[in-house]
Amino acid sequence: MENQEMNSEEKVTLEPQKRSGFVKGLLTGILATAAVGMVALVIIVSVGGNTLQIGTKADSKDNGSILTADVQKKLNELMGYINLYFYDDIDKDKLAQGMYAGLLEGLDDKYTEYYTPEEFENLQISATQNYCGIGAVLSQDKDSMQVTATHIYEGSPAEDAGLKDGDVIAYVDEIEASSIELTELVTHIRGEEGTTVHLKVYREGESDYVEMDVKRENIDLPTIEHKMLEGNIGYIHIVDFGAPTVEQFEAAVDDLNAQGMKAMILDVRDNPGGMITAVTGILDDILPEGTVVYTQDKYGKRQDYTSDDEKQMDLPIAVLVNGNSASASEILAGAIRDFEYGTLIGTTTYGKGVVQTIITLEDGDAIKLTTAKYFTPNGENIHGTGIDPDIELEYEYTGDADETYDEMHDNQIEKAIEVLNKEITE
């Protein structure tokens, strides 16, 4: 059994472009956290005749397992009816996989999932930021299941086909986007290089669907975008926290420092999170020595993630957040706040204060299991509540909606510049 430390809200991002009013949710997001001790439950599945026999290596008495004699009897009863009356051929392997997935679903935890080998491969692709797809990042509203394009990468097939930030994905080929989980939907968007996927999207201001064919290409996704704003204020947009993020962040800081950066804006709006090693690596570059976040499991076992005193930033910092800033984004915001190292500007964050561990199974399947809570340096668990900004400010784009996005017409960036300029002159 192999543990991969991942923390989930799945993958989504948004360039600080004209943010659509209906960008509410996040993709169930992605990645990183605590290693925990796990106890394997052995389930023997044998298929034969007209029944699916399910048992444990123990006897059939109620020994704490859910596979009691009554449960086994009911499963066999259900299988009998399926064999007798189901109108089509039966794929018993799929039935078994559905049973495994249903077991985890019974935990009533939206972050816990069962993955087939193919689904697990897609999850790993998202973590490494390299895949064959269209170059768009999507989010899914947790209640309505609405899927929104939140970031279109420059020069990508999605941009070439005309997909825009804020477009709501209605159909992927013949699949209604809101009918399935985003993790499954993206498997239909990705595919063999050179093939196309047909999208129907709802675009604000259009009376009917906008349709397009998007060619799949090998995509190497950046996770950091940066530029120098007026007054030598560096702007770094963290798209999500993936494997290359720390290296890209450090390169961006080096470039901005070479240009004479006097203050820095970190933009994690609409960032759903990612690998805990990525966010703690960035915090180590910013903060002085101390614990930047810690996790605790149900047994009280605590794991601290720390920064050292080898490097830290000595300049004013503002962090932009909103309701789609989740998980690792909230770890960053919470640490900056608790260390009193910057000003949070925007709206209350998503509120995901639990962490997941990816466990691979012997047959290549995997599960993502919520294993612990995480806490900010001051000991706050923000699950279900989020982090309130120091300056509450709803997003408004004051420029021409038909023109290219300009940071200087983003009211939250304007406020950050105003705050940072005051600190620079003090």
SS3 for the chain is: CEEEECCCEECCCCCCCCCCCCCCCCCCEECCCCCCCCCCCCCEEEEECCEEEEECCCCCCCCCCCCCHHHHHHHHHHHHHHHHHCCCCCCHHHHHHHHHHHHHHCCCCCCCEEECHHHHHHHHHHHHCEEEECCEEEEECCCCCCEEEEEECCCCHHHHHCCCCCCEEEEECCEEHHHCCHHHHHHHHCCCCCCEEEEEEECCCCCCCEEEEEECEEEECCCEEEEEECCCEEEEEECCECCCHHHHHHHHHHHHHHCCCCEEEEECCCCCCECHHHHHHHHHHHCCCEEEEEEECCCCCEEEEEECCCCCCCCCEEEEECCCCCCHHHHHHHHHHHCCCCEEEECCCCCCCEEEEEEECCCCCEEEEEEEEEECCCCCCCCCCCCCCCEECCCCECCCCCCCCCHHHEHHHHHHHHHHHHHHHC
- Confidence category of residue 128, pLDDT binned at 50, 70, 90: low
**How confident is the model over 258-283, as pLDDT tens digits?**
999 999 999 999 998 888 999 999 99
Active site residue 254: no
Q: Which of 141, 270, 338, 365 is an active site residue?
A: 338
pLDDT score for 399: 87
CA distance 71 to 404: 60
- Confidence category of residue 129, pLDDT binned at 50, 70, 90: low
CATH code, 130-220:
2.30.42.10
Average pLDDT over residues 228-256: 95
**How confident is the model over 365-422, as pLDDT tens digits?**
999 999 999 999 999 999 999 999 999 999 999 888 777 788 999 999 999 999 999 9
| 230 has pLDDT over 50 | yes
pLDDT score for 131: 65
CA distance 96 to 413: 51
pLDDT score for 417: 97
Q: Which of 20, 352, 365, 368 is an active site residue?
A: 352
Domain chopping of the chain, boundaries: 130-220, 224-356+372-425
Which one is predicted more confidently, 81 or 43? Answer: 81
pLDDT score for 127: 59
pLDDT score for 251: 97
Q: Which of 327, 329, 365, 368 is an active site residue?
A: 327
| 327 has pLDDT over 80 | yes
pLDDT score for 56: 40
| The pair of three-digit structure tokens given for residue 338, joined into one six-digit string | 């608790």
Active site residue 109: no
7: amino acid identity, one letter: N
| 7 has pLDDT over 60 | no
Active site residue 325: no
- Confidence category of residue 90, pLDDT binned at 50, 70, 90: very high
> Which of 121-135, 189-203, 306-320, 391-405 bottoms out in mean pLDDT, i.e. has the lowest?
121-135
| 337 has pLDDT over 60 | yes
- Confidence category of residue 220, pLDDT binned at 50, 70, 90: confident
The CATH class, in words, for 224-356+372-425 is: alpha beta
**How confident is the model over 160-218, as pLDDT tens digits?**
999 998 899 999 999 999 998 887 898 889 888 899 999 999 998 899 999 999 999 98
